[in-house]
Amino acid sequence: MLARALIVLLLVLNVGVAAWWALRAAPPAPVAAQPEGVVRLQLLREVPVQQRPKHRPRAPVPAPASAAGDAAAATTQCFSFGPYADVAAAAAARARLQPLVQRIVSRTQPAQARGWRVYLAPMPTRDAAQAMARRIAAAGFSDYFVLHEGTDANAIALGRYGSESAARDRVSALVAAGFPARAEPLVDGDATTWLDIGAAAGFDAARAQAAASATRREPLDCARLP
């Protein structure tokens, strides 16, 4: 009986030890030593709710200055109004346009050249002009003519040319031969004045043209407006 009781006791002890081993809590993981002066990193779930930082919406990022400038340029309309034959007419038109636009600039356009002429200035008399013409012919030059009327009477025409370079070449050859030739452009009309304007979106260009008494209205690249 005693032996059986000991066996039963040993079995009970073994079962108890096995149950304790299986059900015991895992030992805590060793915590690494935190360096002095360094705050321990905490997960958000470890921080009490009342101590968590409040979420703030991100401020909108402003558009770059260049993008804003491009948008403003895209809404600007630019035109040239004219032509005005004299400064007084251009000044009167500018005064009428000023309240309607954002920018306005006056521009003088030279008369358009339709060619170049080479000539000798008028001589004192017709006989002197004829004598000079004979000298030019003797030097081997052709295409000359003595003028008899108007402000150019007794001058000698030495040819007309479509480009300045050709006229300058003719002058150089004549001067090298001893003849004081000159070159000047042949122009149509006189210089004119234009008004270049920049205006906001919604600008009524036709109405402005009428107000400015401009015979022409031409689109203008706003980048060319000073």
Looking at the fold, whether 203 and 153 belong to one and the same domain comes out as no
Residue 85: the pLDDT is 85
The answer on 99 and 121 residing in a single domain is: no
Please, what's the b/e burial string for 70-90 (b: 16 or more CB within 10 A of its CB; e: otherwise)? eeeeeeebbbbbbbbeeeebb
Q: pLDDT value at position 44?
A: 64
**pLDDT for 69 beyond 60:** no
Query: Cα 226 to the chain's mean position, in Å?
Result: 11
| Residue 99 placed within a domain | yes
Same domain, 107 and 117: no
Domains in the chain, number: 2
Average pLDDT over the chain reads 82
Rounded to whole angstroms, the Cα distance separating 143 from 57 reads: 87
- The answer on 212 and 116 residing in a single domain is no
* Mean pLDDT of the 147-168 span: 92
Domain holding 122: CATH number? Answer: 3.30.70.1070
Has residue 55 been placed in a domain?
Answer: no
Q: Indicate whether 116 and 170 sit together in one domain.
A: yes
pLDDT above 50: residue 68: no
Same domain assignment for residues 146 and 168? yes
- Is 28 part of any domain? no
- Span 106-110, average pLDDT: 85
Residue 226, pLDDT above cutoff 70: yes
Q: How does pLDDT run across 174-218, given as a tens digit for each residue? A: 999 999 999 998 877 678 899 999 999 889 999 999 999 999 999
Whether residue 56 lies inside any domain: the answer is: no
Interval 113-152: pLDDT, tens: 788 999 999 999 999 999 999 999 999 998 899 999 888 9
Query: What is the tens place of the pLDDT at every residue in 29-55?
Result: 555 666 666 666 666 666 676 666 666
Judge if 159 and 102 occupy the same domain: no
Residues 177 and 197 in one domain: no
Question: Is 125 in the same domain as 177?
Answer: yes
Is the per-residue pLDDT at 71 higher than 80? no
Residues 145 and 206 in one domain: no
CATH number of the domain within which 217 lies: 3.30.70
pLDDT at 14: 72
Domain that holds residue 145: 112-188
| Domain co-membership, 118 together with 169 | yes
The answer to whether 195 touches 189, Cβ cutoff 8 Å, is: no
- Enter the pTM of the model: 0.43
> Residue 212 has what pLDDT?
94
Q: In this structure, are 176 and 204 located in the same domain? A: no
